[in-house]
């Protein structure tokens, strides 16, 4: 009889445990739309609003350290990083955006707590608005969906 490989895939059932959203205050009016998108996706997948904590940091550069400290408390099943970095707004775009992306990656690898990256890195504020719930979807809800999938995938891998 032909054998098939066993496939391990994360699903979108309600994940167990608390979820933290780390959101930067820089470009807050756009970040808030990402937060709304993430909350909406989590709640519509059965996560109770009371099991979600929103943690505010000054800018995207500060996101990784907050993620790492939250993960170290072991109180969270997963963490969503949300922010907006706009190239035109700063000469050190690469440093802020790169440090944020690298830092979140390092924090999740160091703590083994899944983290997803909903930090927009765009050329303009218009592009950011488009990706925060208008013409180009909502990267906050995408980050929330990615987190649910990763929490459930890691649950299956470690079962
Ligand atoms: N932080 C952002 O989140 N987005 C930006 O576009 C941005 N710009 O343009 O500079 C930004 N800078 C602040 C940075 O994240 C830190 O908060 C600051 O450098 C203090 O460490």
**What are phi and psi for residue 131, nearest 5 degrees?**
-90, 5
Q: Domains in the chain, please, with CATH? A: 18-154 (3.40.50.960)
Q: Is the pLDDT of residue 43 over 70?
A: yes
Residue nearest to atom 4 of ligand 1 (CA): 85
pLDDT band at residue 71 using 50, 70 and 90 as cut-offs:
very high
**Average model confidence (pLDDT) across the chain:** 95
Ligand 1 centroid distance, CA of 14 (Å): 34
Give the distance (Å) from ligand 1 centre to CA of residue 37. Answer: 22
- The pTM (predicted TM-score) of the whole model is 0.96
pLDDT score for 1:
74
**131 closest CA partner among 98, 94, 83:** 83
Q: What integer pLDDT is reported at residue 89 of this predicted model? A: 66
Maximum pairwise Cα distance, the chain: 62
**Per-residue pLDDT at 66 exceeds 80:** yes
Q: What is the pLDDT of residues 85-106, one digit of tens each?
A: 998 766 788 899 999 999 999 9
Catalytic residues: 92
The per-residue pLDDT for 86 is 93
């Amino acid at each position: 009889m032909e054998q098939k490989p066993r496939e391990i895939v994360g699903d979108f059932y309600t994940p167990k445990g608390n979820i933290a959203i780390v959101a930067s205050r820089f470009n807050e009016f756009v970040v808030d739309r990402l937060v709304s998108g993430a909350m909406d996706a989590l709640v519509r997948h059965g996560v109770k609003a009371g099991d979600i904590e929103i943690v505010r940091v000054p800018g995207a550069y500060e996101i990784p350290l907050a993620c790492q400290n939250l993960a170290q408390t072991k109180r969270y099943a997963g963490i969503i990083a949300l922010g907006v970095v706009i190239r035109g707004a700063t000469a050190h775009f690469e440093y802020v955006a790169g440090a944020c992306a690298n830092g979140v990656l390092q924090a999740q690898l160091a703590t083994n707590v899944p983290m997803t990256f909903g930090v927009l890195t765009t050329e303009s504020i218009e592009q950011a608005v488009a990706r925060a719930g208008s013409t180009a979807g909502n990267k906050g809800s995408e980050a929330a969906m990615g987190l649910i999938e990763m929490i459930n995938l890691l649950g299956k891998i470690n079962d």
